[in-house]
Amino acid sequence: MKPLYKLSIFLFLFVIVTSCSDDDSSGDDLTGTGMVKIEFDNSVAGDDLILGSSYTNSQNETLTIDRLNYIVSNFRLTDADGNVYTYPKDQGYFITSEETGNTEVVLVDVPAGRYTSLTFGIGVDQEKYLLGAEGQGDLLTEAESTNMMWSWQAGYKFLNFEGTFTSATVTDATDFKIHMGSHGSSLDNYKETTLSLGTEALVSDDMTPIVHLVANAGNILDGNNKILLTEQAVIMVSEEKSPKIATNTSNMFTVDHVHNGDGSSH
How far is it, in rounded angstroms, from Cα 8 to Cα 2? 10
- CA distances for 194 relative to 25, 67, 119, 155, angstroms: 27, 25, 4, 25
Q: Using CB under 8 A, which of 31, 48, 131, 196 touches another protein?
A: 48
- CA distances for 49 relative to 97, 215, 238, angstroms: 12, 9, 26
The answer to the question of residue 199 lying near another protein (CB under 8 A) is yes
Binding part of the chain for another protein, among 125-133, 184-192, 238-246, 256-264 by CB under 8 A, reads 256-264
The answer to the question of residue 81 lying near another protein (CB under 8 A) is no
Binding part of the chain for another protein, among 42-50, 126-134, 173-181, 232-240 by CB under 8 A, reads 42-50
Q: Using CB under 8 A, which of 79, 104, 162, 200 touches another protein?
A: 200
The answer to the question of residue 25 lying near another protein (CB under 8 A) is yes
Residue nearer to another protein on the CB measure, 144 or 205: 205
Residue nearer to another protein on the CB measure, 18 or 153: 18
Q: Using CB under 8 A, which of 1, 5, 26, 171 touches another protein?
A: 26
Q: Using CB under 8 A, which of 1, 5, 29, 46 touches another protein?
A: 46
How far is it, in rounded angstroms, from Cα 3 to Cα 241? 81
Closest distance of CB 225 from another protein, Å: 24
The answer to the question of residue 21 lying near another protein (CB under 8 A) is yes
Closest CA to 40 of 222, 218, 211, 245: 211
Closest distance of CB 220 from another protein, Å: 17
How far is it, in rounded angstroms, from Cα 261 to Cα 206? 8
Rg, C-alpha atoms of the chain: 24
The answer to the question of residue 260 lying near another protein (CB under 8 A) is yes
Number of residues engaging another protein in binding (CB under 8 A) = 36
At residue 111, what are phi and psi to the nearest 5 degrees? Answer: -60, 145
At residue 201, what are phi and psi to the nearest 5 degrees? Answer: -100, 120
The answer to the question of residue 108 lying near another protein (CB under 8 A) is no
- Vertex 178: Cα angle to 175 and 181 (nearest 5): 155
User: Do strands 113-122 and 191-203 pair parallel, antiparallel, or not at all (unpaired)?
Assistant: antiparallel
Enumerate binding residues for another protein (CB under 8 A): 3, 6-7, 10-11, 13-14, 17-18, 21-27, 41, 43, 46-48, 50, 198-200, 202, 207, 212, 214, 256-258, 260-261, 265-266
